[in-house]
């Protein structure tokens, strides 16, 4: 149940009326005695009184109470449900008596609870934890109401796929190389009726994918380009999602310094988000065609690795002088963007843990959005915020374009250091087909949480951008996008 901060002290949020009645209307007073204030992230446990079919009652903080007549912010509900799910780890079943008067609130509470219950324990042979929360029931939801039922189904499908992405991101690189990643996509394709095509190193070389081959050739595990497609028979809109899938990034010959390598298994977070989003869209049966492109490679400093100064001929035919082998994500994405453009989708959205510069600009908690269309960039930003995925619109200043001119090739893969995240976006724009609407999401900040868990966000892989991509597809299906 929820507790909010009011002007005259904490107050119960809607949904907790039955619990308060079991405490003879004194629940707030009891919680205040225990130090509860309703602050965001707060969790207070107390024994359940007679009349409540539970061993304990848990009050979670919702932050500032809304003005009279206004509903609770959906992200506040998601976060509170996530806090509750983590606090109830090991519990078989929990009833969430948070505000759930309409379908949007039902979806928010269910999503927060399911994401908050996530735990990655695959490699813990002696797991000292209690395990995650087993089952979630949203009190106040109406299972016979079509809108409430659809909201619960969306929350279940999308949360499961966000958690799939988290699992992939958290899996060590020795168990998730490009070949293993591609195999997981193939297995999901069979399960959910998706068309999956995998280009191995021979097919990539024959097809002229110089960017993907160039990045992956220093590794003992060769690269892959995976196409995973969902098609609806009644759809007249097509979206293409492109994900950076560097399963481990050592920096290549331009080796990363000590202290910057330990979390580089997460450099495939964009590909994980794209894969998970396509599966979620298929589960929901959205009336839209969606194709995911996963550019998978391992960036290692092997004897055959690309060297600074080498020139790669990309899939598009452009030549790129590689000045820094640690600017590899844009190279694999360039090939995938050019290939995706050949199918002339209505829009392309790429997702990548692309630049440290974006983290410096926006911090760990939000991703940057660049686009070749201002209205589309605004639509993606609005969509992300509505899903609780913090983002910020970023420009593509044309004056920075000349900074990655090359005297040897058509362009270089690096420009000046100031505005490095914007230069990466400008580089990618070079490989988007003429007339195709495109947006680039640089998720380097929020993709991997090195701190402690908070709200519904766990430590480690977060699965960021999955919900944004699914929501964009849903809008396209309903003719509300483009």
Q: Which of 8, 68, 262, 84 is nearest to 76 (CA)?
A: 84
The one catalytic residue in 330, 377, 467, 474 is 330
Q: Which residue among the candidates 179, 256, 318, 429 is catalytic per the annotation?
A: 256
Annotated active-site residue 339? The verdict is no
Strand partners, 60: 2, 43
The count of residues in the chain is 482
Kind of pairing, strands 224-230 and 195-199? antiparallel
Torsions phi, psi for 248 (to 5 deg): -155, 135
CB 86 within 8 A of CB 117: yes
DSSP 342-388: TT--SEEEEEE---HHHHHHH-SS-EEEEESSHHHHHHHHHHHHHTT
Rounded to whole angstroms, the Cα distance separating 114 from 84 reads 10
Q: Name the residue with tokens 């969606």.
A: 290
Q: Are strands 311-313 and 411-412 parallel, antiparallel or unpaired?
A: unpaired
Q: Are 112 and 144 in contact (CB under 8 A)?
A: no
Q: Answer whether 461's CB lies under 8 Å from 272's CB.
A: yes
Q: Which residue has the tokens 């495939």?
A: 268
Give the relative orientation of helices 74-87 and 103-116 as an angle to the nearest 10 degrees: 40
Does residue 45 have an active-site annotation?
no
For residue 457 the two structure tokens come to 């966000």
135-138 and 93-96 beta bridge pairing? parallel
Question: How far apart (Å, rounded) are the C-alpha atoms in residues 81 and 425?
Answer: 36
* Three-class HEC string of 72-94: CCHHHHHHHHHHHHHHCCCCCEE
Question: Is residue 177 exposed (0-12), middle (13-18) or buried (19+ Cβ within 10 Å)?
Answer: buried
Residues 422, 394: contact at Cβ < 8 Å? yes
Which are the catalytic amino acids? 256, 330
């Amino acid at each position: 149940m929820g507790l909010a901060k009011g002007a005259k002290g904490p107050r119960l949020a809607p949904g907790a009326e039955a619990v308060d009645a079991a405490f003879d209307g004194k629940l707030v007073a009891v919680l205040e005695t225990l130090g509860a204030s309703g602050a965001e992230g707060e969790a207070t446990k107390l024994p359940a009184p007679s009349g409540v079919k539970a061993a304990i009652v848990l009050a979670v903080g919702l932050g500032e109470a809304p003005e009279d007549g206004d509903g609770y912010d959906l992200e506040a509900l998601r976060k509170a449900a996530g806090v509750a799910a983590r606090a109830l780890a090991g519990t078989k079943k929990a009833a969430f008596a948070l505000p759930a008067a309409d379908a949007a609130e039902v979806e928010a509470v269910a999503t927060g609870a399911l994401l908050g219950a996530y735990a990655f324990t695959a490699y813990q042979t002696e797991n000292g934890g209690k395990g995650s929360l087993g089952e979630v029931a949203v009190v106040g939801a109406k299972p016979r109401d079509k809108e409430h039922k659809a909201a619960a189904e969306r929350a279940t499908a999308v949360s499961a796929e966000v958690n799939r992405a988290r699992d992939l991101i958290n899996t060590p690189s020795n168990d998730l190389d490009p070949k293993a990643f591609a195999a997981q996509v193939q297995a999901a394709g069979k399960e959910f009726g998706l068309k999956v095509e995998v280009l191995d190193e021979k097919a990539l070389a024959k097809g002229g994918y110089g960017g993907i081959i160039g990045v992956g050739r220093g590794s003992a595990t060769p690269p892959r380009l995976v196409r995973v497609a969902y098609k609806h028979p009644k759809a007249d809109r097509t979206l293409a999602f492109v994900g950076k899938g560097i399963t481990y990034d050592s920096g290549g010959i331009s080796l990363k310094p000590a202290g910057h390598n330990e979390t580089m298994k997460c450099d495939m977070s964009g590909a994980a988000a794209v894969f998970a989003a396509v599966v979620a869209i298929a589960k929901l049966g959205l009336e839209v065609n969606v194709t995911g492109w996963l550019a998978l490679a391992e960036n290692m400093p092997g004897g055959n690795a690309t060297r600074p100064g080498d020139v790669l001929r990309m899939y598009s035919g452009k030549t790129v002088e590689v000045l820094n082998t640690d600017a590899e994500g844009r190279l694999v994405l360039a090939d995938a963007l050019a290939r995706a453009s050949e199918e002339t989708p209505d829009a392309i959205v790429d997702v990548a843990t692309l630049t440290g510069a974006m983290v410096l600009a926006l911090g760990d908690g939000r991703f940057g959005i660049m686009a070749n269309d201002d209205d589309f960039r605004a639509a993606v930003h609005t969509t992300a915020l509505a899903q609780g995925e913090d983002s910020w619109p970023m420009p593509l200043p044309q004056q920075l374009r000349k900074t990655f001119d090359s005297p040897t090739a058509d362009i270089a893969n690096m420009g000046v250091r100031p505005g490095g995240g914007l230069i990466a976006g400008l580089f990618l724009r070079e490989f988007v087909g003429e007339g195709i609407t495109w947006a680039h999401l640089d998720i380097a900040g929020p993709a991997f949480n090195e701190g402690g868990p908070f709200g519904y966000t766990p430590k480690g892989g977060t699965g960021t951008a999955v919900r944004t991509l699914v929501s964009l597809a849903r809008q396209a299906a309903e003719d509300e996008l483009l």
